[in-house]
Amino acid sequence: MAANEQLAMLVQPDRVHRSVYADPAIFELEMERLFGRAWLLLGHASQARAPGDYFTTRMGREPVIVVRRDDGEIGVLVNRCMHRGSTVCAEGRGHVERFVCPYHGWSYDRGGELRFVPIAAGYAKQDLANLRLKAIPRVSVYRGFIFASLAASGPALEEFLGPAISSFDDFVDRAPGGELEVAGGVFKHAYNGNWKLMLENHLDGVHPAYVHASSIAVARAAPEPGTPGAEHYFDIAVRQMRQNGAPEALWESIGLWTTPRGHGWLGDYHTDKRLTGGEEHPVYKQYRKALISKCGEAEAERILGVTRWNTIIYPNCSFMSQFRQLRIIHPLAVDRSVVYTYSFRMRDAPQQMFRDTVAFANVVNGTASWVLTDDLEVYERIQRGFASGAVEWAYVGRGHGADVDEPGGTRRGASGTSEVFIRAQMGAWLDYMTQQ
């Protein structure tokens, strides 16, 4: 395996070979050629505000530390001592003066330079002089979102994001204070399935009616949402789950865009305007007023007129501005993935909007939620199916032949339920995997 010609045979215009999801050798190659090359989203500047603030994460399977350096910039270091290989930093987040290895006390500064080695006399000085925590070669921050690439060269972040950069603008522009911050806790959910299955699900407008049939049904039977001032905690949940059962015609009409690097976004299918434009709701009025005072009425109208559901940044991120959720997927094995789900608070927005974000996260994206649990069940069932060698291909031909290339470099699905996003993701996959 691994000759480029062989890889190219696995991805065809309207079908994908099962081994792309199930072959451990291909997964190993993905870690090298795809996660080893692409820009990966690691987190947000608000997770490390002051020098010494750090959080740990993964790039592909590499354990890394994201740290605010003394010069105020973000650095990304491999979490591995140069001596005996131990991680130098506990998992999670916190604040450090130095990263001190627990094994022999080697200590590194916030930039990764080796500053102290106990009983150093035993070592040749010039050997130690060449040692430091390995720095990830490329780090770039766009409007607070921290990206890094394991590859020393490649396209700049802005070029990589291409037209999908507008989804980050949409996300940040909505904050009356001009900034977002990560808040409210992190859900970490895992499943026995390939990492691509999540990214392929988040722009799929056909699955909600079927995967989420049970939560749609119970939401329809739930009490009606309360009037302003008399809402229930669960209103936002009930509204969202009901809308997953929107009529086919709505899904067809919402718009679906992709980019050559596999990114994409789906138009919003929530006709409910409680959060996104409910002109009469007091919380919305307060929010709109705050936004206008920041940027003027015309600009506020432009910002609020953008209606996007999930945006995929290939290969490791999915986010939505409307409910302010962002997910980072970490591939662990060909059939094992873990997803970190973050909530964001918009600076200077009404407090209730963040409370709604938390409620939304709990009932839709949470590890024990009505909605996500059924997605995870289906990912695992797909993985079991793809593990079978009895059938070789997965058919992804919905809308094939009718995709529309637009000026500006986007490709639009013929309808909101086109499988154009899977074709775009697999096209990007093949580019990374066969690039020299």
Partner 1 sequence: MNIEQFLYHEARLLDTQQLEAWLDLFTDDAVYWVPLERDQKDAAETSSIVHDDRTLLGLRVQQARHPRAHARLPLARTVHQVSNIVVVEESGETLRVASTLGLIEWRQEKQRVWGALVEHQLRRANGGFRIARKRVDLVNSEAELDGIAILF
| Interface residues toward partner 1, by CB under 8 A | 183-192, 210-211, 213-215, 217-219, 221-223, 232-234, 237, 338, 343, 351, 354-355, 358, 361-363, 366-368, 370, 372-374, 376-378, 381
Q: Exposed e or buried b for every residue in 286-313, given b needs 16+ CB within 10 A?
A: bbbebbbebeeeeebeebbebbbbbbbb
User: Toward partner 1, which CB reaches closer, 162 or 385?
Assistant: 385
User: Toward partner 1, which CB reaches closer, 9 or 190?
Assistant: 190
With beta carbons less than 8 A apart as the criterion, state whether 346 and 357 touch.
no
Residue 138 buriedness (CB in 10 A; 0-12 / 13-18 / 19+) = middle
- CA-CA distance, 67 to 56, in Å (whole number)? 9
- CA-CA distance, 320 to 282, in Å (whole number)? 23
User: Toward partner 1, which CB reaches closer, 19 or 362?
Assistant: 362
- CA-CA distance, 245 to 333, in Å (whole number)? 33
Least gap, CB of 358 to partner 1 (angstroms): 5
Least gap, CB of 224 to partner 1 (angstroms): 12
User: Toward partner 1, which CB reaches closer, 6 or 351?
Assistant: 351
Least gap, CB of 247 to partner 1 (angstroms): 18
Give me the DSSP letters along 188-251.
Answer: EEEESS-THHHHHHTT-SSTHHHHTHHHHHHHHTSPPPPPTTS--TTHHHHHHHHHTT--HHHH
Bridging pattern class, strands 317-320 and 325-333: antiparallel
User: Toward partner 1, which CB reaches closer, 156 or 217?
Assistant: 217
What tokens were used for 254? Answer: 């919402």
Least gap, CB of 104 to partner 1 (angstroms): 29
Least gap, CB of 336 to partner 1 (angstroms): 10
User: Toward partner 1, which CB reaches closer, 29 or 209?
Assistant: 209
Least gap, CB of 188 to partner 1 (angstroms): 4
